[in-house]
Structure 1
């Protein structure tokens, strides 16, 4: 059982980075829903950036929780 610790500023930053990554991954889908033509080259870029944001947010959260 984990001990309850107060939420710190680092937790908020990690959460923000993870949410930003999720929104970045969903950006091409939102664009197609509004009628925009998404390039075949733009979509993988958004996916890669989004995945890297999620990984960075999780790493920040896990490193903070170890200390």
Structure 2
């Protein structure tokens, strides 16, 4: 019975102590390519004297 109590205590400590750890924040690939996050899509607009590029991709795209 003592072994069960110790195992239960160890399991409870493991569950409650790990909940305070922060996970890594998701990487913002849209900002890496200087795009604008609209909530659902990443809008990338590039322009120069000779060209104009508009790209729109979903944020959940792999």
TM-score by length of 2: 0.35
In proportion to residue count, which structure has more strand? Answer: 2
**Bigger Rg over Cα:** 2
TM-score by length of 1: 0.33
Higher relative contact order (CA 8 A, sep 6+): 1
